[in-house]
Homo-oligomer: A and B are copies of this chain.
Amino acid sequence: MDLATIIGFTCAFLLVIFGISLPNLAAFIDPPSLFIAIGGAVSATVAAFPANKLINSIGVVKNAFFVKKSTPVDIIKQLVSFAEQARREGILALEARALEVKDEFLKTGIQLAVDGTEPELIKDILSTDIAFTELRHEEGAKIFDFLAAMGPSFGMIGTLIGLVLMLGNMTDVESIGPNMAVALITTFYGSLLANAVCLPIVEKLKGYSRREILIKELMLEGIMSLQSGDNPRIVEQKLTAFLEPGLRAAVMKEKGK
């Protein structure tokens, strides 16, 4: 898991608790408010998405936070080495190496190329795969985006309930303040759910998706180059254009060694 993420989430919550200050913490724990604000927001989200997407979204989040994927630089080096071997020994020589490839997308692509599938068809199949991967990622992000919108909304619904109950019975002047405090807690929970939990997750998922798609596009470009028997130097040049200048140096440096 990205260290920045752990630090970010931890700090956000510690700072909020620090703002409340420990002795007052009890005033901010109110189960009924929790049920309306968080429970209501989660329920509306459950109603809005099919069950399998909801379950998938947990997997997507887990992937985005925990799985260590190969970097673009690794992929480029691997593809350039494939291009060198294909140049020397013919594309069929890649058949054995394809079996070692762990990434499903890259393996399928190389096998298609080795099988002599037409380039148009390879591009078609792999592009469709990329398009739908993107779609699935967007759907994962959408679930947390929806939850982020529902949080403050159900928070406000809870606050309205609290206010109506309080205003309907103002005989006990003493209790007005504390009742209003309780009414505001649902909005507090809803805001926290949205801003300290869901929106950072949405951003994280989008960044993770962009990275995944970038890597798949890199692989697609590389596979098409392998298929058409491009010069390894050209393959490298084509693929490093995907990288930021800093990483490009990394590819070159390693090669120079």
Contacts and interface: CB of A to CB of B under 8 A. Distances in A.
Contacts of A96: none
A149 B186 CA distance: 21
A154 interface: yes
A194 interface: yes
A131 to B, nearest CB: 9
Given A15-B39, A51-B2, A177 B184 contact: no
A12 B164 contact: no
Chain copies in the assembled complex? 5
A168 interface: yes
Interface stretch (A27-35, A77-85, A86-94): A27-35
Contact of A146 (B168, B191, B203, B238): B203
B46 A8 contact: yes
A59 to B, nearest CB: 9
Interface of A: 2-5, 7-12, 15-16, 18-20, 24, 27-28, 32-33, 35-36, 39-40, 42-51, 53-54, 56, 104, 112, 117, 121, 124-126, 128-129, 132, 135-136, 139, 142, 146, 149-150, 153-154, 156-158, 160-161, 163-170, 177-178, 180-181, 184-188, 191-192, 194-196, 199-204, 207, 210, 234, 237-238, 241-245
5 contacts: A12-B44, A18-B35, A19-B158, A126-B241, A142-B203
